[in-house]
Amino acid sequence: MRTGIAHLPLHTGHAPRWLFELMVRLAREVVAHLVAEYGATEVVRRLADPFWFQALGCLLGFDWHSSGLTTTTCGALKEAVKGREWDFGVVVAGGKGGTSRKTPQEIVQACEGLARDPDPLVYTSRMVAKVDSAAVQDGYELYHHCFVFTPDGSWCVIQQGMSEETRMARRYHWCSEQISNLVCEPHTAICCDAQGPTLNLVARESQPAQEAMTELAREPHQEFQRLLKTLPTLTLPDRHEIEPVDIDATYLKKILLRTYEAAPPDFEHLLAVPGVGPKTLRALTLAAELIYGIPASTRDPARFAFAHGGKDRIPYPVDRVTYEQTIDVLQRALDRATLPYSEKTRALKRLLNFTTSP
């Protein structure tokens, strides 16, 4: 289920190299403690919590309300576990921009070392990205996708989109725990206010529209085309205006031929068809409402500090001495932990490798 959404203002700039290196080291210690105390699945569970993730970014010393907190924190986590996935039991794939598009191949490479089938994880990564970019059309264009998983198949996704119009970013959190349906209410504990009109095809009240759209996608394209040609531009209630480009006949003919051949049995399979994106879904939504009288939901899925200072000197400049002391305290704390001898030994060996690595 999706576990939350956060809104952040878009900021320029990046973390200084010296700060990022400290962030990597501290992130490594935090993950080491979580794994030693609770296991790798707890790392995934906590990263899926938007509030905990925001607190982690602040603990690491990044600007508390910047969109860059998402990308930099995920980058630090990825670097912290890189090459030590077996020790942690946690893999971090993906990232910002072009790196996000390499997520599937990074999952495949990691699964080769873990001797597990990567296909379900690759499918999940792609489907989660498609839901937040096509099935939920909220005005935010995805540019960051981070997929975190464990050898036993637990996973979470942290992805972020931006709105050039509002100069805001929206972060989406997903978690594999208790998931039952990727395309019906896959979110909970959402933590921000709605902004602007939204077409929400994964809302529970959109299920009748999903069924109607899927039925249309299985029909020959000629009837669909005939209906669309009779439609002028119109405004749907509480959501974006449908523009002529959204129902381009030539484009839709190609997509509908593909969906007709694939004959998707349900909305999730329709969403998985290559080429089915926001424009196709808007056109299918419009046709489903016209033909069957079934509208889709327009409910936005979004409803509603520091230990070491911050990059932008808010609330104060990063205190490097305290930062180093925190890392040292975390390392020594594991030595005093009341763990069985064998578990403590394994934890200390992990920390030795982590702290002596460059």
pLDDT at 196: 61
Is 314 found in the same domain as 235? no
**Of 206, 182, 213, nearest to 276 (Cα)?**
213
pLDDT at 341: 46
Is 45 found in the same domain as 16? yes
Q: Which residue has the tokens 């938007």?
A: 50
Is 347 found in the same domain as 245? no
- For residue 30, tell me if it sits in a domain: yes
Chunk the chain into consecutive blocks of 10 residues (it has 358) and report each block's average pLDDT, rounded to whole numbers: 55 76 91 92 92 84 72 94 93 96 96 93 95 89 95 93 82 84 70 62 90 84 65 45 52 73 88 85 76 79 51 62 74 61 52 50
Is 166 found in the same domain as 38? yes
Distance (Å, rounded) from C-alpha 13 to C-alpha 309?
Answer: 17
Is 182 found in the same domain as 71? yes
- Domain count within the chain: 2
pLDDT at 237: 42
SS3 93: strand
Hey, CA dihedral for 32, 33, 39, 40, is it positive or negative?
A: negative
Domain that holds residue 161: 2-196+302-356
pLDDT at 109: 95
* Helix residue ranges per DSSP H, the chain: 17-38, 40-47, 50-59, 68-81, 85-88, 103-114, 119-130, 207-217, 221-229, 249-262, 267-272, 278-292, 320-336, 341-356
- For residue 297, tell me if it sits in a domain: no
Is 159 found in the same domain as 103? yes
Greatest alpha-carbon pair distance for the chain in Å reads 75
- For residue 336, tell me if it sits in a domain: yes
Distance (Å, rounded) from C-alpha 323 to C-alpha 61?
Answer: 9
Is 185 found in the same domain as 277? no
Is 117 found in the same domain as 19? yes
Is 190 found in the same domain as 232? no
* Bridge partners, residue 5, by sequence: 172
Q: What is the DSSP code (8-state) at residue 133?
A: I
SS3 295: coil
* Bridge partners, residue 241, by sequence: 235
Q: How far is CA 63 from the centre of its chain?
A: 20
pLDDT at 50: 84
